[in-house]
Structure 1
């Protein structure tokens, strides 16, 4: 029997061929020829056969896991994610042994769901959670300093100041467990209704479809060298230090690409997508803010959010709605009743002088496709690292981004921030 991921990849390939047949006829504005119809019917039969194989393979996979008692239920899966400790995974790779505990449960379940085996070890994005937990422990010494030892407070480690990562938290739709390229059909226009007089014929109308939304695998990764002693320490504070360092570079690379990626090696960023609406706020005022909101209302989009950077936030919070009212465009966290999120990840528009960017839109229209969760691979044999007893740790993730309706966003790039 073929492996589950092989069946799904074969099915995806045949679906693409079917779409190509239809697309060619649509481009030439004609019906399918006899040969094209025969090809379409053959592919349809083959896909139906593959769907049967897929169901059988999935059933056998699930059955085998139930028999061995290691199946993770959907209800418990999120709890398993939260219990994975990144340093345990790295230590297992360094020592050349299998995972255990929550890390093993997560890796096994992820491989079952995706049908793919990781090059190293799968770890969840939750293992890179960097939300701060405030801890306050007062310590003072006023006398006998010479006999009081220093307290090494790893739990109070002072890390670098980093940009806030916001794109996923704004509500993007996340598709996980992907295999082949993703093609999502998109509606363009439909039938129309019309009034007629007695004995008058109705006009015929039909549906049409826009270019489909597509996603394809794009890879982001980080490579770092960790000392043997650091990895062998059992303190959870060291786990936090390793986690923060890896998550910072991975998260910032992903967040930046989702905002302003070039669409070549990176996902195409929201700021570079065609079809985004534009507006001007060169001289910020209340009328301009309302016109931006109106643009979304006119295309039937609700649930907008503002996204910008601290410079634009300052300008909006310092601009009054009307002179001498003491009421400002923004209170720093919202504007016109819609949430305002700020991060240095939003770049200003280059120029002399530079101008600030402001986005308003429904971020649930973004689709983040994930082919591979973060895959950790540990290499203790790289020559330079090996000579010092250190290990190289590689973290990689495969994903892409698309937007369902570009008109659900309004981009402003001329806010004066001087």
Structure 2
């Protein structure tokens, strides 16, 4: 039978038992208990530090071995697309097919209609047509000037920052079927009672969180020349573009998804408390009130998600009228906690919470299916690419989040 680990309470009880006694053996035992107590206290301090860092650390995938990670990191989305084009056979496209087969073996997910599976953890993205055609010019001598393509200098769109994993959201990979997560909703009671008085009775109660796969996808058009370029920069820009759109869709849903239709339900609609503030006049006391909200709920916040139009205003808002009071937002922090800003957060909105209570679930991997015969794309010599990923988000404790939303000023 395993011996139960001793706690500081055990050490204290032993010390209280010999406190009024004296003698060499008692003194020796007291010194042993002092040393044991100091060791346990140091262990508790280290554990608190680790717990704090765990709440503050960015979210990380919770699966996949090292060799698989290395093979995946050496793969590009362009390889998977080119592997589905007629007549394209080379080493990289062969490896793309092999990797898709390995992903199918690991996940049990089968590609549809001859597509290829690609592991783009945490998710993927979409945008407009990519082309490498020469830029149009005018003038009699234009045809005499050659155009040098620089895919490494491609001008991408300005996109919303992805912040949920930076704030510490957990990522569950390789899910199959619906996922049930048990959750305790109430605890048994304890009370101080007098002689012959009854103790309170009652058991803990439980419910569960269910995560179900929801499909996010996009169809993009890519020029054949872009896919045929051997330049690593060209491949990187295609991959970055495909990754960006769906990752952004998942990040936005995790923060503010309303749960209607087939959209996941995110943090803001489920937050334990939502408070309105006068737009453009957010005060230091309102910021501090959010900390109190979470303290009352026994939640330990580790960061803020900040919407557009807030950061600059708070950096210019004094905490108080007195000289030297400082500003509400300083050095990228609010009330001593890091603040991540993104347009994926509704404009003017702030969310404070323990972001480890946000879970992002991924079923299988992204699937890429190429259609080189889509009518309009075919006429231009381009190919159409469809990207699909199944994912969902869940909030473990709604009380771990509080929201400030702007109302119209009077």
Fold in common (TM above 0.5): yes
The yes-or-no answer on 1:243 pairing with 2:239 is yes
1:97-112 pair list within 5 angstroms: 103-104=96-97, 106-112=99-105
Q: Which runs of 5+ in 2 are unaligned?
A: 1-62, 126-143
Given candidates 358, 377, 399, the residue that maps to 1:366 is 358
1:109-258 pair list within 5 angstroms: 109-119=102-112, 120-125=115-120, 151-210=148-207, 212-258=208-254
Offset of 1:206 from its aligned partner?
Answer: 1.3
Q: Within 2, Cα distance between the matches of 1:127 and 1:359?
A: 22
SS at match of 1:95: coil
Q: Within 1, Cα distance between the matches of 2:203 and 2:159?
A: 52
1:41-52 pair list within 5 angstroms: none
Q: Within 2, Cα distance between the matches of 1:222 and 1:230?
A: 19
Name the structure 2 match of 1:330: 329
Aligned length: 323
Offset of 1:234 from its aligned partner?
Answer: 1.0
Give the number of the structure whose residues are more often helix, by fraction: 1
The yes-or-no answer on 1:78 pairing with 2:69 is yes
Deviations 1:34-76 (A, max 9, x none): xxxxxxxxxxxxxxxxxxxxxxxxxxxxxxxxxxxxxx98122
Offset of 1:82 from its aligned partner?
Answer: 1.5
TM-score by length of 2: 0.71
Q: Within 1, Cα distance between the matches of 2:356 and 2:306?
A: 17
SS at match of 2:310: helix
SS at match of 1:186: strand
1:296/1:361 contact within 8 Å kept: yes
Q: Within 2, Cα distance between the matches of 1:89 and 1:317?
A: 46
Higher relative contact order (CA 8 A, sep 6+): 2
1:359-398 pair list within 5 angstroms: 359-398=351-390
SS at match of 1:243: helix
Offset of 1:289 from its aligned partner?
Answer: 1.6
Rate the CA distance shift 1:150–1:342 in 2: closer, same or farther, 3 A.
same
Q: Within 2, Cα distance between the matches of 1:286 and 1:384?
A: 56
Q: Within 2, Cα distance between the matches of 1:127 and 1:338?
A: 25
1:296-307 pair list within 5 angstroms: 296-307=294-305
Greater alpha carbon shift after TM alignment, 84-93 vs 380-389: 380-389
Greater alpha carbon shift after TM alignment, 242-251 vs 339-348: 242-251
The yes-or-no answer on 1:93 pairing with 2:84 is yes
Offset of 1:220 from its aligned partner?
Answer: 0.6
SS at match of 1:234: coil
Q: Within 2, Cα distance between the matches of 1:230 and 1:75?
A: 31
Rate the CA distance shift 1:150–1:387 in 2: closer, same or farther, 3 A.
closer
SS at match of 1:256: helix
Rate the CA distance shift 1:151–1:379 in 2: closer, same or farther, 3 A.
closer
Q: Which runs of 5+ in 1 are unaligned?
A: 1-71, 131-146, 349-355
Offset of 1:329 from its aligned partner?
Answer: 0.8
TM-score by length of 1: 0.70
1:310/1:342 contact within 8 Å kept: yes
Rate the CA distance shift 1:78–1:400 in 2: closer, same or farther, 3 A.
same
Rate the CA distance shift 1:224–1:101 in 2: closer, same or farther, 3 A.
same
1:182/1:214 contact within 8 Å kept: yes
Rate the CA distance shift 1:317–1:386 in 2: closer, same or farther, 3 A.
same
2:123/2:366 contact within 8 Å kept: no
The yes-or-no answer on 1:277 pairing with 2:283 is no
Higher Rg: 2
Deviations 1:210-237 (A, max 9, x none): 3x11111111111012222221111112
1:312/1:415 contact within 8 Å kept: no
Q: Within 2, Cα distance between the matches of 1:203 and 1:343?
A: 48
Q: Within 2, Cα distance between the matches of 1:311 and 1:266?
A: 26
Q: Within 2, Cα distance between the matches of 1:315 and 1:406?
A: 28
Rate the CA distance shift 1:152–1:226 in 2: closer, same or farther, 3 A.
closer
Given candidates 288, 291, 308, the residue that maps to 2:306 is 308
Offset of 1:286 from its aligned partner?
Answer: 2.4
Rate the CA distance shift 1:202–1:80 in 2: closer, same or farther, 3 A.
same
Offset of 1:245 from its aligned partner?
Answer: 2.7
Given candidates 291, 294, 297, the residue that maps to 1:293 is 291
Rate the CA distance shift 1:127–1:108 in 2: closer, same or farther, 3 A.
farther
Rate the CA distance shift 1:115–1:152 in 2: closer, same or farther, 3 A.
closer
